[in-house]
A and B are shown apart, each in its own frame.
Chain A
Amino acid sequence: MASVTYDHVTKKFGDSMIAVNDLNINVDDKEFLVLVGPSGCGKTTALRCLAGLEEITEGNIKIGDRVVNDVPPKDRDIAMVFQSYALYPHLSVFDNMAFGLKLRKVPKDEIKRRVEQAADTLGIKDLLNRKPRQLSGGQRQRVAVGRAIVREPKVFLFDEPLSNLDAKLRVQMRAEISKLHQQLQTTFIYVTHDQVEAMTMASRIAVINKGVLQQIDTPQNLYDSPNNVFVAGFMGSPAMNFFPAKLRKDANKMVVDTSDFVLTIPPDRTKPLEQHVGKDIIFGIRPENIHDAEFIPPNIHAEKVEAKVDVTELMGNEIYLYLITGKNTFVGRVDPRSKMRMGDKAQVAFNMDKFHIFDAQTEQAIR
């Protein structure tokens, strides 16, 4: 039951490899923070620094009010679930879970009580006498979680715990870990590169790229108002469409001019953009905000664009259209009734209430 603070934390491997760069994060007590980012961006390293498995090069890490930079892992009161589970092969499931408690000299019957309770919660009561190699992947995963919860630590760390499971089991375990978080009322820090996991489980998400924190916010805020092109492109699937463009004023209207088409910006959103008129920008719009011109939802500012349909993917409840206009290619998620097919010339509509504009130089959002 503690907060966690990364205070200007930098971790270098050797002299040149900066795995984590000036990281600042405050994780509140009982929060479920998810670290996401592409492979190699430093998520695991950030987590291992908190666990004490790596020494940090600069900055401070605090658990509660205590600076733990020089505290060995065993005294940090944390528990960690590894991607490979790291179950002790020579110990039974029971002994795996009891290992940490025995080291802390917890009385025998207390150990038994806690292990059995955790096993009950996780539905692995029948497996306590088995060795790890006699378990399936999902069962191992549960044991690894069980080993963490019997310790009743202040902070739980997870490093991509679900990435070795098949798709179905992953969905199930996702729900179970969320439930566990509610039951335990403890701080969870969870690393993944799966944005669906991030969106569904997190109370807040921290997006990291190349060792640098890009944005930290609730899933909804992150999705609705990404700070920069990287975050906008990383969250959401299919990814947001980007068009290099210029911002212009035509008569009284402010317009976005890609080389292929021109879009009018609704008057209520022009204000923050005034300073950027005449400059290069990046125009971003998510696929679900591109509609078939024949099925435009009511009450939106729609701007029509001519495009050629390159590929269509039928998903059942919607259709993905891969579209081409001049130099740009983009994706739309349109109404399943749409009749557009490969090779057609098509009219699509951009929902101009839901677009994003980024500075072309800094790639920061303008709003």
Chain B
Amino acid sequence: MPDSKKPSFFTRVRWFFQGRTSTGERGMGFGSQILSQLFLLLMAVIVLYPILWVVSMSFDPRDISRPTELRLNPFQGGLSLKAYQDVINQPTANPVSLGQLMFNSFRLATLTGIASIIVGVFASYAFSRLRFAGRQALMIAVLTVLMLPSIATLPALFVLLNKVQIDIGNSVFNLRNSLIGVGLAVLSGSLPFAIWNMKGYLDTIPKELEEAALIDGCTPNEAFFRVTLPLSTPVLAVTFFLGFMSTWTEFATSWLFLTNPKDFTLMMALYNMVGQYSNSTPWSHFAAMSILIALPVTIVYLFVQRYFVGGLAIGGVKG
């Protein structure tokens, strides 16, 4: 551009209405602009409506079990935190607090997430960088599990974990009926994903960096720990988060394995609120519960999603 001055505010406003870009290039005509806007706005309403609906229900002040008219309450009717209070005190008929449920889910998700990246990163490094006999076969072995949904290995996991039973005095510890057992079953599915996801990233780190480290005085293993590992922190974080997310919302395994309400997870409680025996639960409670479960992960997701948009890693954890 010969004139490097920024266009004035008025010029930019004019361009905006003429459908030009911020550099003044020709854009779309007014008619198609309006049509596009109408369509995109409709999509925006469709995307937003269910979310607003559940949010407004959670603040419903009337303490009724079902909404009787179509309206978004915050805009009429007023707000109440009662549903949240009730849910935090005791979300289901089971005598457990939301805190206890959250703690269970959090423990489960954090520990399996950490385990999968710590154990997985070494294997992904081997697959990405090292050459050894059987590499192909082992990669296929990982991919096979990756293809399989985690429910497809539940029959055997249930039966096998159920066999690990320890009698301690008069109490009995059954591995299947414990959060540790659920963690192991979840890890069985998330580890191959973690390995594959991290391998894909390690493949993009130039080999020269490690070679430079070798010459600078590292042994091959030191080069991994001092150069490659620090450089893979983004993928470690993303993989951890995806693992966390899938375990945080895991339902099938925990519902099948756990019988003691003290061990229940958030998703199990949610199912208790909406499942077949739930007719007495007011929808405001369900709505508040949904928001309490979804809000933390959604916020984190919004912050980190730009790191894995583009790659297929998004949502690529088995459900």
Enumerate chain A interface residues (CB-CB to B < 8 A): 51-53, 72-74, 76, 78-80, 82, 84, 86, 88-90, 99-100, 103-104, 147, 151
B208 partner residues in chain A, CB cutoff 8 A: 82, 84, 86
CA of A103 to CA of B211 in the docked complex: distance in angstroms? Answer: 15
Interface: B227 (CB within 8 A): yes
B212 touches A151 (CB 8 A): no
A86 partner residues in chain B, CB cutoff 8 A: 206, 208-209, 211-212
B310 partner residues in chain A, CB cutoff 8 A: none
* Stretch from B73-81, B216-224, B241-249 that touches the partner: B216-224
A82 partner residues in chain B, CB cutoff 8 A: 208, 211-212
Interface: B215 (CB within 8 A): yes
A74 touches B217 (CB 8 A): yes
A53 touches B211 (CB 8 A): yes
Q: Which listed residue (A78, A84, A90) contacts B215, Cβ 8 A? A: A78
Interface: B95 (CB within 8 A): no
Interface residues of B in 174-233 (CB under 8 A from A): 206, 208-209, 211-219, 222, 226-227, 230-231
B231 touches A89 (CB 8 A): yes
CA of A147 to CA of B218 in the docked complex: distance in angstroms? Answer: 15
| Chain B interfacial residues counted at CB < 8 A | 17
Chain B: minimal CB distance from A85 (Å): 8
B217 touches A104 (CB 8 A): yes
B209 partner residues in chain A, CB cutoff 8 A: 86, 88-89
A89 partner residues in chain B, CB cutoff 8 A: 209, 231
A84 partner residues in chain B, CB cutoff 8 A: 206, 208
A74 touches B206 (CB 8 A): no
B230 touches A74 (CB 8 A): no
A100 touches B217 (CB 8 A): yes
CA of A79 to CA of B208 in the docked complex: distance in angstroms? Answer: 13
Chain A: minimal CB distance from B226 (Å): 8
Residue of A nearest to B229 (CB): A90
A79 partner residues in chain B, CB cutoff 8 A: 215-216
Among B217, B218, B222, B230, max chain A CB count under 10 A is at B217
Q: Given known contacts A72-B219, A84-B206, A89-B231, is B212 in contact with A52 (CB within 8 Å)?
A: no
A103 touches B214 (CB 8 A): no
A72 touches B211 (CB 8 A): no
Chain B: minimal CB distance from A118 (Å): 14
Chain A: minimal CB distance from B38 (Å): 43
B231 partner residues in chain A, CB cutoff 8 A: 88-90
A147 partner residues in chain B, CB cutoff 8 A: 212, 216
A72 touches B213 (CB 8 A): no
Enumerate chain B interface residues (CB-CB to A < 8 A): 206, 208-209, 211-219, 222, 226-227, 230-231
Chain B: minimal CB distance from A303 (Å): 53
17 of the cross-chain contacts (CB-CB < 8 Å) are A51-B211, A52-B214, A72-B214, A73-B214, A74-B214, A76-B215, A79-B215, A79-B216, A80-B215, A82-B208, A86-B211, A86-B212, A88-B213, A88-B231, A100-B216, A100-B217, A151-B216
A53 touches B214 (CB 8 A): yes
A74 touches B215 (CB 8 A): yes
A99 touches B213 (CB 8 A): yes
The list of the 8 closest CB pairs from A to B, nearest first, reads A100-B216, A103-B217, A86-B208, A86-B212, A73-B214, A74-B217, A73-B215, A90-B230
CA of A82 to CA of B212 in the docked complex: distance in angstroms? Answer: 8
In the complex, given contacts A74-B214, A74-B215, what are 11 additional A-B residue pairs having Cβ atoms less than 8 angstroms apart? A53-B211, A73-B215, A74-B218, A74-B219, A80-B211, A84-B206, A86-B206, A90-B231, A99-B226, A103-B218, A103-B222
Chain B: minimal CB distance from A221 (Å): 32
CA of A104 to CA of B227 in the docked complex: distance in angstroms? Answer: 16
A103 touches B216 (CB 8 A): yes
Residue of B nearest to A99 (CB): B216
CA of A90 to CA of B214 in the docked complex: distance in angstroms? Answer: 17
Chain A: minimal CB distance from B218 (Å): 6
Chain A: minimal CB distance from B135 (Å): 16
Chain A: minimal CB distance from B206 (Å): 6
Residue of A nearest to B233 (CB): A90
Chain A: minimal CB distance from B220 (Å): 8
CA of A335 to CA of B230 in the docked complex: distance in angstroms? Answer: 61
A104 partner residues in chain B, CB cutoff 8 A: 217
Residue of A nearest to B232 (CB): A90
A88 touches B217 (CB 8 A): no
Chain B: minimal CB distance from A201 (Å): 22
A53 partner residues in chain B, CB cutoff 8 A: 211, 214-215
B213 partner residues in chain A, CB cutoff 8 A: 88, 99
Among A51, A73, A90, A99, max chain B CB count under 10 A is at A73
B226 partner residues in chain A, CB cutoff 8 A: 99
A78 partner residues in chain B, CB cutoff 8 A: 215
CA of A73 to CA of B212 in the docked complex: distance in angstroms? Answer: 10
A103 partner residues in chain B, CB cutoff 8 A: 216-218, 222
Chain A: minimal CB distance from B209 (Å): 5
A151 partner residues in chain B, CB cutoff 8 A: 216
Residue of B nearest to A53 (CB): B211
Chain B: minimal CB distance from A71 (Å): 12
CA of A181 to CA of B217 in the docked complex: distance in angstroms? Answer: 23
CA of A89 to CA of B213 in the docked complex: distance in angstroms? Answer: 12
CA of A78 to CA of B209 in the docked complex: distance in angstroms? Answer: 16
CA of A51 to CA of B215 in the docked complex: distance in angstroms? Answer: 7
Residue of A nearest to B220 (CB): A72
Chain B: minimal CB distance from A96 (Å): 9
